[in-house]
């Protein structure tokens, strides 16, 4: 078990694990923990969220009295790669030589947490309680975290390393998010012989999308249309078209109004096109806002300073597993871990940042040992 955090990351990153296909990387995490002599288990979340693996949970032994128990969380899945993953180190930076995603999101966090677990356990470092949760299907709606039995946690607070920014940034707030599945129904007809008898669902959808306010709506809100699919053949007036959209806001009331505005625009576009609309709105995740005086933020601030990093705070436009835990009443902060250009072929992370996050993890554990 002399493998470094970098070596472990290179190994994990090379394992393909899109949402729902986390089995190989879950097995590697489990074998690593087993080799350390640590007890761990895998829950039944896979069956719940349609993955071939469940969430992995591990509690380090040797908890001492006093202090504050903490947990760390990272996800095992990545966005789907468009090709092979061949991690290489060039000029002290890890990239994918194969021209698709690297998977630093979130395997750099997995590697740092596992290496920290090794140093704590093998080195016999004192702690007030440390737990690890490795989740599945985070990239498609935080599904693994939502299916995890949080009552198992003894920890009073936790940390997720899932922010593409320089180390030192502490996320104190994330948005609420809703997804919209909008299905326009028209009437099919031969496009060359009797087009007047048809009602184009694609035309209705196009009008709706054109009427929507998309992008950055205000300082704390965004909306987007991500997928449009419809029709059956080039020479048939399309009788259906589905639009998949989303809206996010750091203000829940604003989000409610924005979603209703989107629904109204789509209903109007359908009606003037002599089509009908079938809409489904789902809550993707709940937002949260932490105060800088909260223990979870204070502890992160102190740990970063302990390793020589000046902390900053920021709001995030995306969701992370921390949204789920905060929604359950368990304070959880997202920390930036240095990854950059995530979800793109240019995704990369500095070698030094992987090791630095190991040190940050150990500093958090040490700080929690002395926390009230």
Domain holding 345: CATH number? Answer: 3.40.630.10
Same domain, 170 and 228: no
Of 89, 70, 12, give the one whose Cα is nearest residue 360. Answer: 70
Same domain, 19 and 105: yes
Same domain, 251 and 350: no
| Contact partners, residue 162, CB within 8 Å, separation at least 6 | 74, 75, 105, 106, 109, 138, 320, 321, 322, 334, 337
| Domain boundary residue, one of 264, 285, 306 | 285
pLDDT in tens, 61-90: 999 999 999 999 999 999 998 788 999 999
| Domain boundary residue, one of 247, 269, 285 | 285
Confidence (pTM): 0.92
Q: Which residues are marked as active site?
A: 77, 138
Same domain, 86 and 18: yes
Of 18, 36, 2, give the one whose Cα is nearest residue 106. Answer: 18
Q: How many CB atoms lie within 10 A of CB 331?
A: 19
Domain holding 233: CATH number? Answer: 3.30.70.360
pLDDT in tens, 94-141: 999 998 999 999 999 999 999 999 999 999 999 999 999 999 999 999
Of 229, 231, 224, give the one whose Cα is nearest residue 246. Answer: 224
Cis status, amide bond into 369, omega within 30 of 0: no
Of 204, 279, 270, 272, give the one whose Cα is nearest residue 237. Answer: 204
Q: What is the pLDDT of residue 372?
A: 77
**Numbers of helices and strands, H then E, in the chain:** 10, 17
Q: In whole angstroms, what is the distance from residue 323 CA to residue 175 CA? A: 8
How many domains is the chain built from?
Answer: 2
Q: DSSP 3-state assignment of 122? A: helix
Record the tokens describing residue 169, joined without a space: 């940034």
Same domain, 186 and 132: no
Same domain, 120 and 210: no
| Domain boundary residue, one of 230, 256, 285 | 285
Same domain, 197 and 94: no
Same domain, 192 and 65: no
Same domain, 193 and 342: no
Same domain, 233 and 306: no
Q: What is the pLDDT of residue 305?
A: 98
Tell me the residue range of the domain where 273 lies: 176-285
Same domain, 113 and 34: yes
Same domain, 85 and 211: no
pLDDT in tens, 160-192: 999 999 999 999 999 999 999 999 999 999 999
Residue 1 has pLDDT above 50, yes or no: no
């Amino acid at each position: 078990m002399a493998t470094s955090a970098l070596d472990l990351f290179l190994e994990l990153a090379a394992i393909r694990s899109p949402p729902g296909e986390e089995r190989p990387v879950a097995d590697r995490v489990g074998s690593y923990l087993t080799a350390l002599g640590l007890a761990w288990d895998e829950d039944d979340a896979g069956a719940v969220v349609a993955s071939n693996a469940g969430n992995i949970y591990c509690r380090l032994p040797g908890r001492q009295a006093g202090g504050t128990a903490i947990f760390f969380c990272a996800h095992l899945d990545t966005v789907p790669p468009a090709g092979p993953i061949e991690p290489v180190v060039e000029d002290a930076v890890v990239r994918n030589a194969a021209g698709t995603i690297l998977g630093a999101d979130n395997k750099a966090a997995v590697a740092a947490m596992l290496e920290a677990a090794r140093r704590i356990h093998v080195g016999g470092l004192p702690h007030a309680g440390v737990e690890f949760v490795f989740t599945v299907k985070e990239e498609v709606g935080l599904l693994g975290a939502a299916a995890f039995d949080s009552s198992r946690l003894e920890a009073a607070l936790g940390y997720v390393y899932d922010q593409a920014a320089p180390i030192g940034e502490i996320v104190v707030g994330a948005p609420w998010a809703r997804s919209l599945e909008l299905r326009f129904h028209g009437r099919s007809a031969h496009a060359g012989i009797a087009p007047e008898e048809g009602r184009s669902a694609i035309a209705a959808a196009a009008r709706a999308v054109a009427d929507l306010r998309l992008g950055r709506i205000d300082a704390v809100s965004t909306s987007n249309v991500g997928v449009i699919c419809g029709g059956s053949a080039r020479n048939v007036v399309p009788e259906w078209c589905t639009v998949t959209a989303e809206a996010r806001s750091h203000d829940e009331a604003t989000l409610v109004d924005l979603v209703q505005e989107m629904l109204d625009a789509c209903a109007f576009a359908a009606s003037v096109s002599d089509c009908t609309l079938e809409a489904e709105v789902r809550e993707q995740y709940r937002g949260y806002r932490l105060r800088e005086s909260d223990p979870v933020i204070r502890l992160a601030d102190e740990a970063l300073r302990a390793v020589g990093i000046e902390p900053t705070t920021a709001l995030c436009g995306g969701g992370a597993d921390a949204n789920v835990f905060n929604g359950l009443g368990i304070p959880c902060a997202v920390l930036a871990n240095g990854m950059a250009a995530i979800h793109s072929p240019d995704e990369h992370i500095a070698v030094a940042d992987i090791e630095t996050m190991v040190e940050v993890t150990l500093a958090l554990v040490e700080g929690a040992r002395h926390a009230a």
